[in-house]
Structure 1
Amino acid sequence: MIKVEEPTREQLIETSKELAFRPKISLVVPVYNVDEKWLRACVKSLTDQIYSNWNFVWQMMLRRKLILNRSYKNWPLRTIE
């Protein structure tokens, strides 16, 4: 049997940066009255991805916007009221 080594996460990230076609992917998520733990889980699942050319747009209540903008201010994030 032939043993195949899987690439590391770092190797995959570097390879994804060299792709000839890297479209911008936008994820639009409407949010209303949701527990913050689910919003954090959603954002974490995005930031854990190998592909980096994306942005995250959500529409939410003002209270959540203030909390999340403080927490995630360095991420590619837009909030629509």
Structure 2
Amino acid sequence: AYSYYIEVSVDNINWTKVIDYRPYLCRSWQKLYFPPIVATYIRVVGTYNTVNKVFHLVSMEVFYMQKQFALIGDIHVPIENMA
């Protein structure tokens, strides 16, 4: 399982955190949602791995969606189950 956060930037200098899953143990494929924001750069920062000291990111796709999601704490939650 992994913990991580995701940040976005327009200039590769100033970064805005859009996902913070440091408190969670995540695994497998995930669909993540965050509010629309203008960005040129996206970085995924691995903060924890239960097996070793390496963070593995197999694939990443980013899409823009106009659909609104419920907010529970700081997590945007889709209507359907994504697990």
Whether TM exceeds 0.5 here: the answer is: no
User: Higher Cα Rg: structure 1 or 2?
Assistant: 1
Higher-helix-fraction structure? 1
Higher-strand-fraction structure? 2
Normalised by the length of structure 2, the TM-score is: 0.29
